[in-house]
Structure 1
């Protein structure tokens, strides 16, 4: 089985046997983080975009473990120039990460990095369609609702990991509409309740998903896992 673990905010691991993918490792400074950055030993790190609450500890973890950072092209070049192992890609492309394949798909958001106090544009944001252990998992990253989620749904999703916090991403109401377009078997909410500005009711979201779609919602607490 493939295991998905939530560590708070948008930090997830997707693991099967020897492959452990760490997604958007914002741990240092994350008030909901259920683990410290130096406790994680991924085989690859997936970064959806350059904002500090997603790029997070990716650089330090990569330096310590030599796990490659999978990121959109310009963000990958930026990180690679600072001395870490990177696997760059771009929207529509697919890369390999251990036993997994990772397809870059669109996200409607923005992407900058903080380079010593200067905010620098760092490629387009992305989501990922991860295939690992016989499962297909969509990691939306930070995104608004968009019509082409229907095309991502054509990938045959077992799981969709979606933001529900609003203000900087789609809110829970739009995330329900996203579930209808994506048609996953299971949806896991993330990117909520880290800060007051992104407070959301995951139970109410689950009830709305059940009323509008056939998907099952799995609500995790930081540090909890589910097998998919």
Structure 2
């Protein structure tokens, strides 16, 4: 299984010939470039411009944009209801977290999570190998709450997203460095992709993986 970062909160997950794209973004509104992608499955965590740019993806036969249980192309997808804010969705609406089972690994993408998880949500997410989590604050959990959510889930690997980088037009978002400092990481080992072929590659204790846009 291979995970590539497309920028902002967008990721491409590949296993053999199956491609999943999560949260494609509108490049004109976000301020980052977007290259047309091809996929079999597209998952959208919520219907905001920086997460629902499905016209930027071609060839997909399955679009998932709500809670529930799904299966397509040998991938099991579980959508779990959450909130985009700390007011049970009254401010920014609902958010769907996704648990994907593919290639013998479990990947969880939390979308624009706006609050800590409930015990039920932690149980629904289950055992997570790779956690993709927003860390920039303002419209999502901030770096401190993100670290608390990591402790709730206890994944093997954590990939941060939704943070400020040069070019992003969305203001008031914290940079990645604040989360790395909170987690006691340096981010010096940034890489273009995460490739997992064996569960023996997973660390015993949680590690942060910084992916650069590719």
Q: TM-score, normalised by structure 2?
A: 0.77
Asked whether 1:24 is paired with 2:15, we answer no
Residue 150 (structure 1) aligned with residue 119 (structure 2): no
Cα distance in structure 1, aligned partners of 2:12 and 2:146: 21
Q: How many residues align?
A: 183
Separation in 2, partners of 1:210, 1:159 = 18
Q: Residue 182 in 1 paired to residue 153 in 2?
A: yes
Distance 2:122 2:74 in 1: 26
Query: What is the root-mean-square deviation in Å for CA atoms of aligned residues?
Result: 2.3
What runs of 5+ residues in structure 2 fail to find an aligned partner?
Answer: 86-92, 186-203
Report the counterpart of residue 67 of structure 1 in structure 2.
61
Please list every run of 5 or more consecutive structure 1 residues that lacks an aligned counterpart in the other structure: 73-89, 111-122, 224-228
- Check if 1:169 corresponds to 2:140: yes
TM-score (normalised: structure 1): 0.73
Counterpart Cα distance in 2 of 1:61 and 1:14:
16
Deviation at 1:94, TM superposition (A): 1.2
Deviation at 1:196, TM superposition (A): 3.4
> C-alpha displacement at 1:31, in angstroms?
2.1
**168-177 or 189-198, larger mean C-alpha shift:** 189-198
2:197 is aligned with 1:217? no
1:101 is aligned to: 76
> How far apart are 1:205 and its partner, in Å?
2.0
The Cα offsets for residues 124-162 of structure 1, whole Å up to 9 and x where unpaired, read as 421000001000011000012223353245x21101000
Cα contact 1:32–1:222 (8 A) shared by 2: no
5 Å-filtered alignment, 1:36-115, equals 36=35, 38=36, 40-55=37-52, 57-58=53-54, 60-61=55-56, 64-72=58-66, 90=67, 93-109=68-84
**Which stretches of structure 1, 4 residues or longer, exceed 4 Å deviation after superposition?**
none
Q: Does the CA contact (< 8 Å) of 2:42 and 2:60 recur in 1?
A: no
Which structure shows the higher helix fraction? 1
